[in-house]
């Protein structure tokens, strides 16, 4: 008899987005002439910039000629892209990452979801709360948790981010469970909070002291403008031994529908076998990557490489500046309504303390203003009392949404 | 301490391809002026056809305009592609598959590698021998096997394909271990053998009788020309309850470097929980797909959809005809040397009984003719004594390779 993985039954249904969809549909039926403005999910809206579109198109043309055709590429990605990243995202900022420590993939969601496979099932996993649900669900599927109870899975450690700690959790203290695998995300999704070098250094120190591994999700690093803030965990000395970093072209270059990301696994990064002997995490990831993945589309990799030309860089800077200006407008408006916020600076998300029920605030924004946002409770218990507003939309939509919200909140 | 998945240590290093690379490099150094012709790995060489390139390029242009930009798409794939497949690959052939039973992905390697996650770790898995290594290695990583011993993993069942059964293994007989999860591939990689409807029906009957699940890899179905041969397992009545089918645009449309594939999981397809209650495999796959994957690049999906226009179909037929003619030339030549073969008809692979050591035959082809082929032993113990020749190359290269081999084998 073909028996199913019993752990899938522990997963909670994705109530959040189906409930949002249901409410939006209800509103649409009731207000057929009203345009709904979406500031909910974190999906970019600006077109691919010209130089990147041109590189993408040229590579497609190559594929249409016998001379330029490309079949299977290296599973880990083409050297031209790995080299461009090593220099453009790290070397130029004084961080020493070799091209063969960079693994190209079709998405940070895939990579952050898949990497847990490299580790034993009885390790202790720690995740932020509020959290990007992929970190949790993939560990549930793998059997690293017990049952779901009141917003939490038994057996997981949760790092609560709230106003008390300025939305930057500290590592577990002595007396608390030791965490072996640590998920961190800065600039954070959903809170938009950014960690200082000192705050990241505390996590690196914790990982060193406990032989833990940090999975650092830096999908939003392109929004960091403050030169004092780290955009990579490898700015912290010693992090290369205890941290894997995930990056994406999705929010950096508008690639949510084009699909390209990468994961950095330094040669020094170490895990341990049952005898306590060191094992190279890079070797394990390389084995997984070559066994279960067949590389990213060649034209997509050429498009991604175009992000590192001088023109490409300027175009992307313009794009992230545009969304950051949206974020600033949102934060200013929300604060003017008397709500306190985090994010919206060095981050495309604004996390609002709505002083009450997440869903009530969501309903108010939808029903009074036709604006869709995301209730914080969908990201975990610590998200209750908060909502997330995303800066990913066209300026005129954002301005229109803020005008409508202003009217709604003056009522 | 971050402990690694102990099962990775059981994996065998990919000796085959590294050894081939080493030998080729050695030959190249010794013969710097001789052009090496590769008929080894199954990678296509013809350019993307014009109508498909045009659709790909147009979709890239869309992405470069605000009006045509596409962000995140549905994880399962766009309706336009799922509908085109449902009609073009199934409905038009009298097979009833709904668009929402089709899941678009970036590769059949990923899908055949990932699907085992849906099932319990203590099920019995059966794989062909010789075998596409992904089926085996992904189950080793998941802990469904014991140690490696003499070409086999303990705890796996192997379906041996050899001259005695015309390279089509039959289901296990009573007295043999009952297999819960069954990997089949027809037209087969590496043997090129094709199964008849009666032969597939025997497997479907076995799965029905034992509540097993068949994973049917049909990546090479576009090469089937004999109307009596099934190109889908769903041509067998009842298969929709016991089989998942994997398809790819790689060998069908030259997408090895473009990356698009799909998996069919019918609503009727059933697995069981620990109490023996039925569970929908489609629901489980949908959950995995939406949790760990973020959809295929929009321009790639548009290119794939162009395969189903009348022009696209003609172009692809021309492409597969071309490779099939290569395969026929290879088979004829090899038989003229006095070797018996399977495949090369309704399949792009020719599997040659080399009457001796696989590597010795490989060495002879490389050293005497500068032609790279694949030793069968790399696909499992039952591959010893065989080599695989791939028809994926340009006609002039294939003709030149055969001329050189003719001279080599006349020596």
Query: Is the domain A8-47+311-410 a CATH 3.90.1150.10 member?
Result: yes
**Which residues of chain B does A284 touch, with a Cβ-Cβ cutoff of 8 Å?**
4-5, 8
Chain B residue nearest residue A279, CA to CA: B4
Cβ-based burial of A373 (10 A; exposed 0-12, middle 13-18, buried ≥19): buried
- Give the contacts of A302 (CB within 8 A, at least 6 positions apart): A55, A56, A58, A59, A80
The pLDDT tens digits of the residues spanning A46-99 come to: 999 999 999 999 999 999 999 999 999 999 999 999 999 999 999 999 999 999
Task: Please check whether residue A29 touches B, CB under 8 A.
Answer: no
Q: Is there a contact between A8 and B118 if contact means CB atoms under 8 Å apart?
A: yes
Let me know: does B322 contact B46? Beta carbons within 8 Å: yes
**DSSP assigned state of A258:** T
Phi, psi of B236 (to 5 degrees): -90, 120
Q: Which two tokens stand for residue B20?
A: 């081939």
Predicted confidence band of residue B41 (pLDDT cuts 50, 70, 90): confident
Residue B63, Cα to own-chain centre: how many angstroms? Answer: 31
Cβ-based burial of A25 (10 A; exposed 0-12, middle 13-18, buried ≥19): exposed
Let me know: does A296 contact A104? Beta carbons within 8 Å: yes
Let me know: does B250 contact B303? Beta carbons within 8 Å: no
- Give the contacts of A42 (CB within 8 A, at least 6 positions apart): A189, A251, A348, A349, A390, A392
Q: Is there a contact between A71 and B181 if contact means CB atoms under 8 Å apart?
A: no
Question: For B6-47+311-410, CATH number?
Answer: 3.90.1150.10
Task: Please check whether residue B109 touches A, CB under 8 A.
Answer: yes
d(CA A109, CA B40): 34
- Alpha-carbon distance A408 to nearest alpha carbon in chain B (angstroms): 29
pLDDT for residue B17: 79
pLDDT for residue B42: 83
Angle (CA) A399-A405-A408 rounded to 5° is 150
Q: A54-309 adopts what CATH topology? A: 3.40.640
The pLDDT tens digits of the residues spanning A399-409 come to: 999 999 999 88
**Which residues of chain A does B209 touch, with a Cβ-Cβ cutoff of 8 Å?**
none
The pLDDT tens digits of the residues spanning B187-220 come to: 999 999 999 999 999 999 999 999 999 999 999 9
- Which tops the pLDDT comparison, A53 or A14? A53
The pLDDT tens digits of the residues spanning A341-383 come to: 999 999 999 999 999 999 999 999 999 999 999 999 999 999 9
Region A113-140: mean pLDDT is 97
**Which residues of chain B does A114 touch, with a Cβ-Cβ cutoff of 8 Å?**
292
Nearest to A2 among B57, B65, B181 (CB): B181
d(CA A114, CA A116): 6
Chain B residue nearest residue A60, CA to CA: B57
CA–CA distances in Å: residue B51 to residues A210, B55, B222, B309: 57, 6, 18, 9
d(CA A364, CA A319): 31
The overall average pLDDT reported for chain B is 96
Long-range Cβ contacts of B313-322 (<8 Å, 24+ apart): B313/B88, B315/B49, B315/B50, B315/B51, B315/B52, B316/B49, B316/B222, B316/B252, B316/B253, B318/B49, B319/B46, B319/B49, B319/B253, B319/B254, B320/B222, B320/B223, B320/B252, B322/B46, B322/B395
Give bridge partners of residue A248 from the DSSP assignment.
A261
Q: Is there a contact between B272 and A3 if contact means CB atoms under 8 Å apart?
A: yes
pLDDT over threshold 90, residue B233: yes
Q: Nearest Cα to B99, choosing from B284, B307, B305?
A: B305
Residue carrying structure tokens 């021998």:
B129
Residue carrying structure tokens 């200082």:
A196
Q: Is there a contact between A6 and B298 if contact means CB atoms under 8 Å apart?
A: no
Task: Please check whether residue B22 touches A, CB under 8 A.
Answer: no
d(CA A365, CA B347): 59
- Alpha-carbon distance A151 to nearest alpha carbon in chain B (angstroms): 18
- Which tops the pLDDT comparison, B101 or A13? B101
The pLDDT tens digits of the residues spanning A283-317 come to: 999 999 999 999 999 999 999 999 999 999 999 99
- Percent of chain A at pLDDT > 90 equals 95
Q: Which two tokens stand for residue A164?
A: 């008390």
Residue B319, Cα to own-chain centre: how many angstroms? Answer: 18
Give the lowest-confidence range in A41-50, A164-173, A344-353: A41-50
Q: Nearest Cα to A348, choosing from A225, A264, A239, A196?
A: A225
Q: Is there a contact between B5 and A117 if contact means CB atoms under 8 Å apart?
A: yes
Give the full edge-to-edge strand order of the sheet including A243-248: A102-105, A261-264, A243-248, A213-217, A181-185, A125-129, A156-160
Q: Nearest Cα to A245, choosing from A255, A235, A232, A256?
A: A232
**Which residues of chain B does A290 touch, with a Cβ-Cβ cutoff of 8 Å?**
14
In the A/B pair of chains, how many CB contacts fall below 8 A?
264
Give the lowest-confidence range in A9-18, A306-315, B101-110, B276-285: A9-18
pLDDT over threshold 80, residue A110: yes
Residue carrying structure tokens 């290594």:
B133
Q: Is there a contact between B110 and A73 if contact means CB atoms under 8 Å apart?
A: no
Of the CA atoms within 13 Å of residue A159, those in its CB half-sphere come to 27
The pLDDT tens digits of the residues spanning B127-186 come to: 999 999 999 999 999 999 999 998 999 999 999 999 999 999 999 998 999 999 999 999
Helix intervals (H) in A64-107: 79-85
Chain A residue nearest residue B66, CA to CA: A47
Angle between helix axes A298-305 and A50-63 (nearest 10 degrees) is: 150
Query: How big is chain B, counted in residues?
Result: 411
For chain A, how far is it from start to end, CA to CA, in angstroms? 62
Q: Is there a contact between A53 and B63 if contact means CB atoms under 8 Å apart?
A: yes
Q: Taking a contact as any Cβ pair under 8 Å apart, which residues of chain B between 117 and 146 contact chain A?
A: 117-123, 133-134, 137-138, 141
d(CA A93, CA A100): 18
Give the lowest-confidence range in A48-62, B12-26, B372-386: B12-26
Predicted confidence band of residue A41 (pLDDT cuts 50, 70, 90): confident
Let me know: does A181 contact A175? Beta carbons within 8 Å: no
CA–CA distances in Å: residue B395 to residues A329, B45, B222: 62, 10, 19
pLDDT for residue A18: 81
Long-range Cβ contacts of B119-122 (<8 Å, 24+ apart): B119/A2, B119/A3, B119/A4, B119/A5, B119/B180, B119/B181, B119/B213, B119/B271, B120/A3, B120/A4, B120/A5, B120/A6, B121/A5, B122/A3
Chain A residue nearest residue B259, CA to CA: A297
Chain A residue nearest residue B255, CA to CA: A71
Q: Taking a contact as any Cβ pair under 8 Å apart, which residues of chain A between 179 and 208 contact chain B?
A: 180-181
Q: B67-309 adopts what CATH topology? A: 3.40.640
Let me know: does B245 contact B264? Beta carbons within 8 Å: yes
pLDDT for residue B411: 62
pLDDT for residue B285: 98
CA–CA distances in Å: residue B75 to residues B22, B68, B82, B177, B293: 40, 19, 12, 37, 6
Region A160-178: mean pLDDT is 96
Task: Please check whether residue B35 touches A, CB under 8 A.
Answer: no
Let me know: does A123 contact A181? Beta carbons within 8 Å: yes
Query: How big is chain A, counted in residues?
Result: 411
> For chain B, which residues make up each domain, given as ranges?
6-47+311-410, 67-309
Let me know: does A168 contact A193? Beta carbons within 8 Å: yes
The overall average pLDDT reported for chain A is 96
Angle (CA) B277-B282-B285 rounded to 5° is 110
Give the lowest-confidence range in A164-173, B39-48, B323-332: B39-48
- Give the contacts of B350 (CB within 8 A, at least 6 positions apart): B192, B327, B330, B331, B334, B341, B342, B343, B344, B388, B389, B391
Q: Taking a contact as any Cβ pair under 8 Å apart, which residues of chain A between 242 and 301 contact chain B?
A: 254, 256-259, 271-274, 276, 279, 284, 287-288, 290-300
Chain A residue nearest residue B300, CA to CA: A297
Q: Nearest Cα to B331, choosing from B344, B348, B347, B346?
A: B344
**DSSP assigned state of A192:** -
Q: Which two tokens stand for residue A155?
A: 């057996």
Q: Is there a contact between B106 and A65 if contact means CB atoms under 8 Å apart?
A: no
Helix (H) or strand (E) holding B114: helix B108-114
- Count other Cβ atoms within 10 Å, centred on residue A74: 14
Chain A residue nearest residue B214, CA to CA: A2
């Amino acid at each position: 008899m073909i028996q199913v993985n019993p752990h899938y039954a522990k997963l909670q249904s994705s109530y959040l987005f189906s409930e949002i969809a249901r409410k939006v549909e209800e509103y649409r039926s009731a207000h057929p002439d009203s345009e709904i403005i979406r500031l909910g999910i974190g999906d970019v809206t600006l077109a691919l910039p010209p130089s990147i579109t041109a590189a993408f198109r040229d590579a497609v043309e190559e594929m249409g000629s016998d001379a330029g055709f490309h079949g299977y590429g290296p599973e880990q990605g083409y050297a031209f892209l790995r080299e461009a990243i090593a220099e453009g995202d790290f070397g130029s900022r004084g961080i020493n990452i070799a091209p063969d420590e960079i693994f190209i993939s079709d998405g940070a969601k895939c990579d952050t979801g898949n990497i847990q496979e490299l580790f034993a099932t009885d390790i202790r996993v720690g995740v932020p709360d509020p959290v990007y649900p992929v970190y949790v669900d993939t560990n549930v599927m793998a059997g690293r948790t017990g049952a779901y109870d009141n917003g939490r899975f038994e057996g997981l450690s949760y790092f609560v981010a709230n106003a008390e700690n300025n939305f930057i959790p500290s590592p577990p203290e002595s007396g608390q469970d030791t965490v072996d695998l640590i998920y961190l995300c800065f600039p954070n999704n959903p809170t938009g909070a950014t960690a200082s070098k000192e705050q990241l250094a505390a996590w690196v120190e914790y990982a060193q002291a406990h032989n833990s591994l940090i999975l650092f999700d830096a999908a939003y690093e392109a929004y960091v403008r403050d030169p004092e803030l780290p955009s990579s965990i490898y700015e912290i000395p010693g992090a290369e031994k205890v941290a894997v970093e995930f990056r994406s072209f999705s929010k950096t270059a508008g690639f949510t529908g084009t699909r390209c990301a990468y994961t950095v696994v330094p040669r020094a990064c170490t895990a341990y076998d049952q005898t306590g002997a060191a094992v190279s995490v890079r070797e394990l990831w390389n084995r997984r990557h070559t066994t279960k993945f067949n590389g990213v589309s060649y034209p997509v990799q050429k498009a991604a490489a175009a992000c590192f030309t001088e023109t490409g860089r300027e175009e992307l800077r313009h794009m992230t500046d545009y969304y950051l200006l949206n974020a600033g407008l949102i934060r200013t408006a929300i604060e003017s309504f008397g709500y306190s916020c985090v994010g919206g600076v060095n981050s495309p998300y604004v996390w609002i303390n709505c002083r009450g029920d997440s869903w009530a605030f969501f309903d108010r924004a939808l029903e009074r203003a036709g604006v869709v946002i995301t209730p914080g409770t969908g990201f975990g218990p610590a998200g209750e009392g908060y909502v997330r507003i995303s800066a990913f939309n066209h300026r005129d939509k954002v301005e229109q949404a803020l005008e409508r919200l202003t009217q709604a909140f003056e009522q």
